[in-house]
Structure 1
Amino acid sequence: MSEANQPWTQPMPESQFELMRRILDAPSPVGLEGAMTYGVLKPHFESFAPEGWQLHQFKGHAGVVLDSHPGRDDLFKVMIIGHADKIRMQVRSIGDDGKIWINTDSFLPTVLIGHEVKLFSEDPASPGRYRIIRGGTVEALGAIHFSDPGQRDGSKGIKKEQIYLDLQIHGENKKQQVENLGVRPGDTILLDRPIRPGFSPNTFYGAYLDNGLGCFVTAEVARLIAEAGGTRQVRLLFAIASYEEIGRFGSRVLAGELEPDVLIGVDVNHDYVAAPGIGDRRMQPLEMGKGCTLSVGSIASEQLNRIIESTAREHGIPLQRDIVGVDTGTDGMAGVLAAVDCAATSMGFPIRNMHTISETGNTQDVLAAIHALTRSLQALDALPDPHREFLDNHPRLDTASPLAHQGGAKPQAEADDA
C-alpha cells in the first residue's frame, strides 16, 4: 500500500468514486437497511475478504460485521462503525383529493419543497415484496399565489404538518386511485438525487451522504488492510450498523455482541466555516477540503486519539480537531451505550447542507479518513501489547509540566507560508 503519491492529495479514482456512488445510492432508510448492507456491501466484502475472514449477520436488523479473526477473543479487538440507515419520510394518511400527507422525519420542511422522491410501497397482497413509485414531488403550499404575505417575504415558515406528496392525481375517485396502488400509511419515501461530481475540483453532491460515506470508508479500510496482508495481534471488526438516526441502537447491539476493546465511529461532520448564520457561535473552523476530523472531548479516548493523530502526522495526512462536548453525536458512543469497556472516538469529514437533497463533500477528505484509519490500525497492530498499552497509559494531568510564555514569533513553517 504505497503512499508515495499520497492518495488524499489526488483526485479519487473513477472506480472508487463509482463504488462510493453505489453505496450512497442504495435505498436504505431506517429499518430497511438491507439494500446497502446486503445489496452492495456484503458482496463487496466477499469480493476481497481473505480466507478465514467471516461476515456476521443479525436477526433483529440488517447490520453486518466483517471479522478478520472470528472466534479469537484473545486478540485485541477494534471495531470501525459506519451506519447504513438514512433519514426518510413516511406516508401518514391519504386525502380525498389524492394528496399523500407525509411525516418528514429529520428534514427541515423548507428544504423538501418541489423535490422529486421515490415512494417504496409494500404490496398489501404480498407482504415483504416492495414496489417503487417515481415521479412524485414534495409540496406544501402549491403556487405562490395562494400563500399569505408572511410566506411570500420569508417571515413565516412552513409547518411539517403541511408537507404532502403530489403524484399528480386527478379525475374521479382521487383517494381511491392512490389506494389502488397499495400505498399505505408507513410506506417509505426517499429523496431522488444520485451522487454526482461537483463543479469545484474533488467535490461531489447529492442526497444521503449521511452516512453512506462512513460505510464506504469502513469498507475501503477493510479492503486496504486485507490487501496489505491483514493484522497479526489485532482482530478487526468492520461494522455497518443500523438505527443510528433514531438513537444509535444498532451500533450498541454490535458493540454489546462483539465487545471491542477499541471502537471508532465514522460519520459525516459539519463544515462550520461555510455554514450560514452561526458565526457568532464561534464554532471550531472545520472546513471541507482541509482533511478528515477527529473528535475530542466527551467519551473520546485521549490514548486512542494520540495514536491516530501521531500516525496522521507521520504520514502527512491532514486531520482537523473536532470538539464534541458531552456526546460525539455518532456511533462512537456505542461502547458507552452498550456498557462495554472500550477506548472510543469518532472520525469524520466536513460536509455542507446535511440532511438535505444537496449534501456536499470533498473526496480528498474522505480519502484522508480512509488512509488515516488504515495506518492507525496498522500502528495498533505494531504495539508490543495493545491490551497493556490502553490499560496502563491513561493520561494524568497531575504530571503536567509547567509552560512559560513562548513569545509572539511565528514558527518558521507558518512564516514561510505567510
Structure 2
Amino acid sequence: MKNNYCINNDSIKFLKKYLDGVSPSGEETEGQKIWINHMKNYVDKIYTDLYGTAVGVINPKSPHKLIIEAHADEISWYVNYITENGIIYVSRNGGSDHQIATSKKVIIHTKKGPVYGVFGWPAIHTRKPSDEKYPSVGNIFVDIGASTKNEVINLGVHVGCMITYPDKFFIMNNNYFVSRALDNKIGGFIIAEVTKMLVENGINLQYGLYIVNSVQEEIGLKGAKVISKAINPKIAIVTDVTHDTSSPMVDKKIQGDIKCGLGPVIGYAPSIHKDLREIIIDTAEYRNICFQRLVSSRYTGTDTDAFAYSNKGVCSALISIPLRYMHTTVEIVHKNDVEKTVSLIFETLQEINKKHNLFFTVNG
C-alpha cells in the first residue's frame, strides 16, 4: 500500500495551477473550476452549492457521512472609492494586510477584463520625518495610470470590483512552497491528494466520504456553515494553516511553539472532539508520522468551529499546516509538512473505517 506519500511532478503541476488561479472570497469560481476539473477523476459525483462550495463524494449512497475539508478563498480588496483625479481607494475583503500593500502590483477584475495597477506610496524624499505617515486602510491607494475618474470608469473599473495580487507560486530551496494563496489552497490540494491515494489504493470505505472545498472562510466561515447543514455529516476533519512561530517577531508564549518542517499540527480547542483528535494522534504515532500540537483556547478561527456546532453537532478535528507570513503574498509552507499531512489524513480515514461504529452509531 502506498502510504508513504511523496509529491510528484504531476501533483506539482496541479498545485501550481490551482494556487495561481484567482479565488477571492465571494468570487471563487476560477479556482473552484480548476479544483473540480482535477477531482472529477477520483470521485463518484461532484457538485457545487448555491455560493460555490465544491463537494466531491465517494460512496454517496452510504447514510454515514464524513467530511474532509479545506477552504478555497483567498484574501483580496474591493474598489471602494474613486477620486476625481483617478486614484482608487480600497476596502478589505477578508484580512488583507495594509502594511504589505504599498508598492505591490495588483489586478482589478472587471467585466471588460483585467486592469493592472499598483498600490502607490509617496517617495521617502517627500515625507517629513516629523510628519511620517504609515500605511493604513484609509490611506493606501491604487494607481492604474488614469488621470480622471471617467478614465477609470471607461476601463470598466467601478466600486465593488475585486482586486487581487498577481504573485505566482514558486519553490524555494527545493523544500519550501511559496504562494500568495497557501491559506488555504494548500488544504484543497491536500484533500485532493488524499482522495487520489484512496482511489489508487482501492480503499473500500464503510461510509460516504465528502471532500469539501468551502468558500468564504476568510469572511466568517460562511461556506462551511451552509454546506454542513446541507450534508449533515457525523464527522468533519478540517485542514487549514497555522502560524510558524519560529519566524522573527512572533511570541511563542502566546502563539505556541510551531515550526515549518516538523510535521502537521494537531489542534486542541473546545470545538475539537477529543475522541476524534485522539484517533488522529494514535494514528500518527503508530505510523511514525511526526506532528506538533497547538492550543487554540476558545476557538480555532477555522471552519472547524462552523462544523462542530452546526446541525445537532458534528464530531470535528483540525489538522493544520505550519505557515510563515500569513496573509502576505509570500506565504511559505514546507514540502515535508504537506506530504506528512496527506499521509496522516489518509491513514486516519482508514482507522475510522475500522472503528466507524464508534462514531456513526452515536445518537442514531
Q: TM-score range by the shorter chain?
A: over 0.9
Task: Show CA shifts across 1:128-166 (max 9, x none).
Answer: xxx2123x1112x321122231575xxx53221111111
Corresponding position: 1:19 with 2:8 = no
SS where residue 160 of structure 1 aligns? coil
SS where residue 120 of structure 1 aligns? strand
Give, in angstroms, the shift of residue 283 of structure 1: 3.3
**Is contact 1:291-1:320 (8 Å) kept?**
yes
**Is contact 2:60-2:209 (8 Å) kept?**
no
After TM superposition, list the pairs within 5 Å mapping 1:13-412 onto structure 2.
13-37=8-32, 39-49=33-43, 53-59=44-50, 61-73=51-63, 75=64, 77-105=65-93, 106-123=95-112, 131-134=113-116, 136-139=117-120, 141-149=121-129, 157-170=134-147, 174-198=148-172, 200-279=173-252, 281-383=253-355, 385-387=357-359
**Alpha carbons of structure 1 residues 388 and 84: separation in structure 2 relative to 1, 3 Å:** closer
User: Distance between the aligned counterparts of 2:245 and 2:15, measured in 1?
Assistant: 24
**Alpha carbons of structure 1 residues 29 and 283: separation in structure 2 relative to 1, 3 Å:** closer
User: Distance between the aligned counterparts of 2:69 and 2:356, measured in 1?
Assistant: 25
Give, in angstroms, the shift of residue 42 of structure 1: 1.1
**Alpha carbons of structure 1 residues 182 and 316: separation in structure 2 relative to 1, 3 Å:** same
User: Distance between the aligned counterparts of 1:388 and 1:175, measured in 2?
Assistant: 60
Give, in angstroms, the shift of residue 168 of structure 1: 2.2
**Is contact 2:234-2:360 (8 Å) kept?**
no
**Alpha carbons of structure 1 residues 169 and 221: separation in structure 2 relative to 1, 3 Å:** same
Give, in angstroms, the shift of residue 169 of structure 1: 2.5
User: Distance between the aligned counterparts of 1:81 and 1:388, measured in 2?
Assistant: 19
User: Distance between the aligned counterparts of 1:150 and 1:386, measured in 2?
Assistant: 66
Larger radius of gyration: 1
**Is contact 1:252-1:337 (8 Å) kept?**
no
Give, in angstroms, the shift of residue 384 of structure 1: 6.3
Q: TM-score, normalised by structure 1?
A: 0.82
**Is contact 2:106-2:164 (8 Å) kept?**
yes
User: Distance between the aligned counterparts of 2:324 and 2:62, measured in 1?
Assistant: 41
Give, in angstroms, the shift of residue 201 of structure 1: 3.6
User: Distance between the aligned counterparts of 1:314 and 1:203, measured in 2?
Assistant: 27
User: Distance between the aligned counterparts of 1:43 and 1:364, measured in 2?
Assistant: 26
Aligned residue type for 1:273: S
User: Distance between the aligned counterparts of 1:227 and 1:24, measured in 2?
Assistant: 24
Identity %: 24
User: Distance between the aligned counterparts of 1:345 and 1:384, measured in 2?
Assistant: 16
SS where residue 243 of structure 1 aligns? coil
Structure 1, gaps ≥5 residues long? 124-130, 393-418
**Is contact 2:19-2:179 (8 Å) kept?**
no
SS where residue 161 of structure 1 aligns? coil
Give, in angstroms, the shift of residue 390 of structure 1: 6.0
Q: TM-score, normalised by structure 2?
A: 0.94
Give, in angstroms, the shift of residue 245 of structure 1: 0.7
User: Distance between the aligned counterparts of 2:97 and 2:359, measured in 1?
Assistant: 45
User: Distance between the aligned counterparts of 1:223 and 1:66, measured in 2?
Assistant: 12
User: Distance between the aligned counterparts of 1:256 and 1:29, measured in 2?
Assistant: 23
User: Distance between the aligned counterparts of 1:25 and 1:225, measured in 2?
Assistant: 26
Give, in angstroms, the shift of residue 122 of structure 1: 2.7
User: Distance between the aligned counterparts of 2:124 and 2:363, measured in 1?
Assistant: 64
**Is contact 2:115-2:155 (8 Å) kept?**
no
User: Distance between the aligned counterparts of 2:333 and 2:326, measured in 1?
Assistant: 10
Aligned residue type for 2:214: A
Q: RMSD of the TM alignment (CA)?
A: 2.0
Structure 2, gaps ≥5 residues long? none
User: Distance between the aligned counterparts of 1:384 and 1:32, measured in 2?
Assistant: 37
User: Distance between the aligned counterparts of 1:55 and 1:384, measured in 2?
Assistant: 24
